[in-house]
Amino acid sequence: MCESEAGRAALRALDPQVAEAVAAEARRQQQHLGLIASENHCGAAIREATGSVLTDKYAEGYPDERYYGGCEVVDVVERLAAQRARQLFDAEHANVQPHAGSQANMAVYIAMLRPGAKVLGMSLAHGGHLTHGHSRNFSGQIYEVVSYGIEQGTGLIDYDQVHRMALQQNPALIIAGASSYSRTIDFEAFNDIAQEVGAYLMADIAHIAGLVAAGVHPSPLPHADFVTGTTHKTLRGPRGAFVLCRQEFAGRIDSAVMPGVQGGPFMHAIAAKAVAFGQAMRPEFKQYQQQVVATSRAMARVMIERGLPVVSGGTDTHMFLVDLTGNGMSGREALHLLAAANITVNKNTIPNDPRKPTETSGIRIGTPAITTRGLREEECRKIAHWIADILTARDPEEEAGALRPRVLEMCEAHPIPD
């Protein structure tokens, strides 16, 4: 019996309720087509590292500067993860300790800004992230935030607006990045604006880190002073995050991460990050990212052909937003209807959304997870047609029930790989 099998047996014996929940989630993932843009399926090697004995080790501090003894092995692990991150993204410095993207972003704020400093970030309503200045997030509560958005007609970032606002507001930090923007981000243009007004530039590549690593999306390096990202979306690693920066800011970033926003790092997660960074350097990873974009574009084109508008008219990345205002359906309703067919999406606001965030007028569709399962353009076009069939049917519930067996058949034909 291998260690993972022994672990499962031990969990069943000690806590059968939790064991059954874990098994049920494995079944759910296998029997559903996951189209959530921020989710993926990591491989057995990454899961093994994540569940390893490294979870037992406390290691506050950094390699050779720990507050605990017995860190000689985890020092090797963290150095390896940081070295691979620097190499992968061609960065001068990498901090691989952040537990999540929000904490990575918070570390940059704390390192470089005083409370009340002005920040220019993308509006959450137009595709930004909570940490880019939402009023209920730390970023909007501690700092003075002004927000740019996208052009109403094109659905694209209005760089002229960003320039005008930067000149008018004189921010200390400009954020380039998004959580639901499907087009290529011009990091060089953001850098030009930041340079002109004397602001720091932070690129948040949480969603597109894998695309950037593979050269499928332009890199924010060397344009940005700081780059934050997550390891579990397109990068296909464990849940976690990282911060990249110029060497001149390394000490301030490290101090902001620990003790600024975190204490002991999760060494098991850092080991898994090292594995993910290593995998991302392989030629097949670039092929995978190219396929992620190809499947995303194939699905977006079907949506448009079927009369379901896509914000910005298409996609250059792993995701896109479907505008449901034309058929009067809310994103929340669409989510539940698609779930009945074993298709998993998330509801999402669209620019200038008339509905409240708990309802939304759109859904977000992403292809990292289904591409990991081996689905290609032909299968993804079929899935897109199924989605359109449900969302435009006279009786959507009946249509969802009728399509569910076909979804299950596709899931069975494309199991989640190890």
Active site residues: 58, 60, 204, 230, 233, 239
* C-alpha count within 13 angstroms, C-beta hemisphere, residue 251: 1
Pair of tokens at residue 408: 């299950």
- Residue 194's φ and ψ, nearest 5 degrees, are -60, -40
Please state the separation of Cα 301 from the chain's center in Å: 23
- Chain centre to alpha carbon of residue 119: 22
Q: Which residue has the tokens 């934050």?
A: 228
At residue 61, the 3 state secondary structure works out as: strand
Q: In the numeric block, which tokens belong to residue 98?
A: 């952040």
C-alpha 29/C-alpha 162 separation (Å) is 40
Q: Is 362 helix (H, G, I), strand (E, B) or coil?
A: strand
* Greatest Cα-to-Cα distance within the chain, rounded to the nearest angstrom: 66
Task: Identify the CA nearest to 345 among candidates 353, 354, 336.
Answer: 336
* Cα–Cα distance, 418 to 416 (Å, whole number): 7
- 8-state DSSP, 343: E
DSSP sequence for 189-246: HHHHHHHHHT-EEEEE-TTTHHHHHTTSS---TTT-SEEEEESSSTT-S-S-EEEEE-
CA distance 330 to 323: 9
Put the strands of the sheet holding 362-366 in their side by side order. Answer: 319-323, 362-366, 346-348
Pairing of strands 144-148, 118-122: parallel
Query: Residue for token digits 């997550």?
Result: 230
Instruction: Kindly state the DSSP code that residue 249 receives in the 8-state scheme.
Output: G
**94 in the Ramachandran plot: left (φ > 0), alpha (ψ -120 to 50) or beta?**
beta
Q: How far is CA 291 from CA 15, 33, 98, 202, 313, in A?
A: 40, 17, 29, 28, 20
